[in-house]
Amino acid sequence: MPSPDLSPFIDLSLNDATAQSLFEKSQVRFLELVPEWIARESNIEVLLMEALSLQVSELVYAINRVPNNVVQGLLALQGQIRDAGAAPTVNLAFTMVDDAGYVIPAGSQVLVESGEIQMIFTTTALLNIPALSTTGSVESVGTDLSSLLNGISSAELSLINGLIYVAEVTLFSTIVGGLDAESDVEYFARATALFQRMTTTLILPSHFVTYALGVAGVFRAHVLDNYDSTDSGAVPGDSGGHVTVSVYGEVAALSNPAKESIEVAMEALSVANLFVHVQDAVINTVNVTVTVQGLPDTDPYTVQASVVSALTSYLSTAKWDWSDTVLRNNLIAVITNVVGVSYVVTLTVPAADVTFLTFGNLAVLGTCIVTVV
């Protein structure tokens, strides 16, 4: 039986209609049929229109969500659940009013504010600050599933619990680990790829990628066709009958048992006489040293931080496109597009295009030195 093709899927919620808009359309249509009619609040016609418009608007809302929910139901049957995201974590440092010795209970809450972004963090364990000491740190987790505070290492903190012996709370580490919930676009793109692949046999290279991405814990996957990763002298394209899939988790490589499990499952589903290999993605660190000309009236430190942020996003395991080469011109383009940058004065490192000598590559930013003049 052919798999459903969801590629033309359209979100019908764009066609929602309010009760007011339906009521106004009803009046227009009624006047077309009965030109001499005058709408008055007490008219039975007006009352009926208002009542029906409310009911119809709710019906339109429900009908427009049927395709969305059907697709989600199909995905759930295949074990594909929408990623709800993850809460960020950070270590909080508590400073006491004196060194008499205090305890910060588990579950203590601190409001973290960075610009217009606010989030409450809750300590995950009891913090014991012994006598003769005034400070201590403890891990805490945010209440929201969001990436908005990732990378923040300085912010305004307010203790919500009434602990009068706490003089100050500060960030003891950088906020990390927050993940946004999977959007409708991302979720249904995954559905489209899944149902396009659905067949009893893995045949095309894209089938192996889609299968790997459907496994819990796999965040990135890339196929190297006709490549035997167990042969140290092989290169992609010269090993007929072999396919290698490079995989990577959200923030780290998968465990050996996880990779072995994926390899066994894919080999069982692949065509006969095809050898399947699963390897870790090769993480390549790229250092950058650059001098940029800032625009007039811009804060050099803000520009510097923005350049580092842009390069971190571009050279990241989450976004790198598996290319084997980092082009200097692309780095210059990324830096030039940063708000506050007029142009790149010099890009000292890398001095030339960076070519990786391995296969199945992801790139991450290493040492980054940005000078703003």
Answer whether 137's CB lies under 8 Å from 124's CB: no
Write the pLDDT tens digit of every residue in 315-350.
999 999 999 999 999 999 999 999 999 999 999 999
Task: Say how many C-beta atoms besides its own lie within 10 A of residue 22's C-beta.
Answer: 19
Backbone torsions φ then ψ of 251, nearest 5 degrees: -135, 0
Closest CA to 49 of 34, 30, 32: 30
User: Which alpha helices (DSSP H) does 127-198 contain, by range?
Assistant: 184-197
Strands laid side by side in the 282-294 sheet:
341-349, 282-294, 361-372
Write the pLDDT tens digit of every residue in 165-220.
999 999 999 999 999 988 877 887 777 777 766 666 888 898 899 899 989 899 99
Write the pLDDT tens digit of every residue in 254-313.
999 999 999 999 999 998 889 999 999 999 999 999 999 999 999 999 999 999 999 999
Classify 199-280 by CATH class: alpha beta
Q: What is the secondary structure of 181-195 as a DSSP string? A: PPPHHHHHHHHHHHH
Strands 282-294 and 325-326: unpaired
Query: How many whole angstroms separate alpha carbon 68 and alpha carbon 219?
Result: 24
Query: How many whole angstroms separate alpha carbon 67 and alpha carbon 54?
Result: 22
Domain regions of the chain by residue span: 12-77, 89-171, 199-280, 282-372
User: Which alpha helices (DSSP H) does the chain contain, by range?
Assistant: 19-33, 44-64, 66-77, 184-197, 205-213, 256-269, 300-314, 328-336
